[in-house]
Structure 1
Amino acid sequence: MRGLLVLLFMPGVIVEGIYPSVIVVGAGPSGIAAASRLLDNGITDITILEAEGRIGGRVNSTKFGEYWVDLGGQWVHGEKNNAAYDLGDPLGLLSKSVGPGRVDEESPIYRCYTSQGEVILKEIAKKLVIYAEEIPSDPSGMENLKTGSYGEHVNNKLYEFYDNHTEEIPDDMRRSLTHAVRLVMMSSEGAADLNDLSLKKIFEYEGTGGYQLVNWKERTYHTVLEILMKKIPNPEEELPVVNKTLLNKQVIKIIYDEEGVIRLMTSDGTEYTADHVIFTTSLGVLKADHEKIFEPRLPEKNRNAIETLGFGQNAKILLYYDHPWWNTNEFVFNLITWTDSDRKEMENDPERSWMLGIGFTVSVEYKPNLFFIWMSGPYCEAMENISEELFKNQTIKFIERFFGNHHHLTRPKDIIRSRWNTNENFRGSYSYPALASVDRDASPEDLGTPVTRNNKPVILFAGEATEPHHYATVHGAIVSGWREADRLINLYKNVLK
């Protein structure tokens, strides 16, 4: 007995049988990171409840044509202070993309197309896009802002650029260019509207050093999940994360009492119990359903963050061609602009207005038969809601309208779209610091504050929206999952001291 007591009281010792049951809600990067960390540290009584019929969350890799493609997270943003990069790079799985802002010999070709099928700004399109990419790191002029919004700052900086290039950019082109560039910037910042994004928080954001568009070569972002689960590099060392995951289990109620016992109900009527819950579902789901899910309601700090932090809207459209109509030896970034008259016409057409949310198109590295369309903002929902047949027909008409005058177009073999915004298990893409969150002093740290009972964390929150320094990223989601797993590991390593 004395020997057992000595063992129990040794700092950091894990003793089988004393560890709690843990339910992880969500099998995205944060949930898988948390579960893997717990398993790796001897906490094995784990169940993962995943609402979708697959693992991955907002990392959604699917077979399309001859390729595996990402409908969600795609690029590793940065080479320093980035968990995803640190996981993939030592294994030789990553490569620098040729994307916007790259100014060496591998720079992409920049073109600007109009809704009249014209190519404009041939000499200055590249300079404009690179200039726009640098705005987030240029605070000059922010002292003159009226609203404190990033959107106001972006507009001011763009009009400075136009004023310095009056010969290349006439006045009647400025509004359409501004709309297009703002859509591009919404895609990187995640905001539903740049005017709702806090400029102050943009300049406080702790980014990652190095190149910002690193890709997984022929692979997809699902690779990072396999690394987390230790399936890569050695499948024989894979952690049993998948075996502990139950799919199609949408959690609709979490009841936690004063004693700390937690009951979870899923939409199929099943009930589960646990000592701790790590909740990793998106901020979009929390915004829509937190009052219904949690009983009793969450503390004010968490609710304030849920209600005021922003959650953006982005979407992808991918076209697969047996015979690509573009030069597959080039990486081309196409900025999409609408004339004022064409925009007005489209706004009044409920079946086609979604096209106004398209900011740019690009070819895809390592996958030469793919053509990629990126959308941002509220028009994403309209695109997701139209029928499959109408969606495909209209996408082809969009290609014909913008590119038909300058290319010998071929017909795509297939077209797919993401559906993040209308899927009730996501309700959007990723988080951003909205002006309301600044006004009400809410932060990702507040969202990630655990709910405690008897000084013990019982409801823990992970996910990119809870990461103060790397929100809106997959690597931020991973770090948040590790953070909450470590919280439990440390709790149970020290509780018997």
Structure 2
Amino acid sequence: MDTSSPKVVIVGAGVAGVTAAAWLVNNGVSDVEVLEAQDYIGGRVKGQVVDGKNIDLGAQFIHGREGNPAFDIAQKLGTVVHLEDQYQSTKLQNAPREFLTSSGEKIDGHKVLPLLQFLDSELNIRFTKIPCGSRTSDGELFIRAYQKFLSPRRETLSHAEIELYDAVYRWYVAYHKIDNAVADLNDVSAWGASQYNVLPGDRFTNTHGGMAALLKAICGLVPEELFQLNTPVTNINWSSVKEARTDGKVVITCRSGNLVEADHVVVTVSTGCMQANHKTLFTPSLPDAFQTALDHIGFGGIGKV
């Protein structure tokens, strides 16, 4: 072992942790260790072969190309499925023009296209007219936009047509719940949603073999022995760093009771994990600004079928 190289411990072996390890190794840092609580590498990226085909059980798409490190890595590794310079818009009016009811009845998407276009147009005000700090929720904006569409038409629409619009509106809301990973759009800040940066390029780039294959390619850049699986971290003591002691180490306590000392620690665990554990994970506690941010970030979950 090169004793002149600083000891770096990475907590979490998801894509962020694996990529950090690859970068460090590639830049000459030889003393690197990755601690992962699960029994596999990848975090939210996990694949499975079903009937000879790779299925992504978790993360699947690379969203945007320009300025996206994930796309840059995939392109460099040659795993991008297609490379045409074409922006595939995710606006709902550009979605397939066919809908199915819960009973399996096919509905021509053009029948409901005016509603989708109207909702998209109305909700774009989030990007221009919602002031910073506004407490207005996406849920409020959505129902307000739908009522604005329906009110002047209600007298001329049949009961069946209104039911159809209601169903499409529910689908539209469900689509955005999935996009935001929430159970209720009233929990989503309209101003906050407007701050999302949509990167140019295909919003749904696939990779050969799925995201798991991309992860495997990145893992190939990191020596296997650097990973310690089934090693949950219960505490990171960074007292010496906070006290600016030049000879101090960060001490990591694992659930097994093992202690690991490091010169530097890179924490790559998910936002949800940080929210649940940050008060006990760090000694001393994180600065107030970090804790406030973690405690106030909305974090939901969606199931993939």
Q: TM-score, normalised by structure 1?
A: 0.52
Secondary structure of 1:47's match?
strand
Residue matched to 2:98:
110
Match of 2:206 among 191, 212, 215: 215
- The answer to whether structure 1 residue 248 and structure 2 residue 235 are counterparts is no
Partner of 2:269: 281
Shift, 1:66, TM fit: 2.1
Shift of 1:22: 1.0
Q: Which has the higher strand share?
A: 1
**Equivalent position of 2:6 in the other structure:** 20
Residue identity opposite 2:229 in structure 1? L
Seen in structure 2, the aligned counterparts of structure 1 residues 143 and 59 have a Cα distance that, compared at 3 Å, is closer
Instruction: Report the alpha carbon displacement of residue 221 of structure 1 after superposing the two structures with TM.
Output: 0.9
Per-residue deviation, 1:239: 3.3
| Counterpart amino acid of residue 255 in structure 1 | N
SS, match of residue 202 in structure 2: coil
Alignment correspondent of 1:266:
254
Mean Cα deviation higher: 51-60 or 94-103: 94-103
SS of structure 1 residue aligned to 2:303: strand
Kept in 2, the 8 Å contact 1:79–1:85? The answer is yes
Paired amino acid for 1:191: V
Match of 2:80 among 66, 87, 93: 93
In the alignment, is residue 205 of structure 1 matched against residue 196 of structure 2?
yes
The residue correspondences of 1:130-279 to structure 2 (distance < 5 A) are 137-139=124-126, 142=129, 147-163=135-151, 167=157, 170-172=161-163, 175-217=166-208, 219-229=209-219, 231=220, 238-240=221-223, 242-258=224-240, 259=245, 260-279=248-267
Matches of 1:69 and 1:131 in 2, distance apart?
A: 35
What do residues 106-135 of structure 1 show as CA deviations (whole Å, max 9, x unaligned)?
A: x63531313x55445654345655665666
| RCO comparison, higher one (Cα < 8 Å, 6+) | 2
Distance 2:62 2:108 in 1: 30
Equivalent residue number for residue 40 of structure 1 = 26
Deviation of 1:20 after TM superposition, in Å, equals 1.5
SS at 1:200 equivalent: helix
Q: Give the unaligned 5+ runs of structure 1.
A: 1-15, 232-237, 318-497
Offset at 1:251?
1.0
Give, in angstroms, the shift of residue 309 of structure 1.
0.7
Structure 2, gaps ≥5 residues long: none
Shift of 1:196: 1.6
Per the alignment, residue 464 of structure 1 pairs with none
SS in 1 for 2:72: helix
Code of the aligned partner of 1:222:
A
Decide whether the 8 Å contact of 1:26 with 1:50 is kept in 2.
Answer: yes
Q: Equivalent of 1:290, from 271, 275, 278? A: 278
Find the counterpart in structure 2 of residue 63 from structure 1: 49
RMSD, aligned CA? 3.2
Inter-CA distance 179–190: structure 2 relative to 1 (3 Å threshold): same
Q: Corresponding residue for 1:49? A: 35
Change (3 A) 1:159 1:87: farther
Name the TM-score, length of structure 2 as normaliser.
Answer: 0.81
- Secondary structure of the 1:214 match is coil
Q: Tell me the alpha carbon deviations over residues 307-366 of structure 1, each in whole angstroms, 9 at most, x when there is no partner.
A: 10111111101xxxxxxxxxxxxxxxxxxxxxxxxxxxxxxxxxxxxxxxxxxxxxxxxx
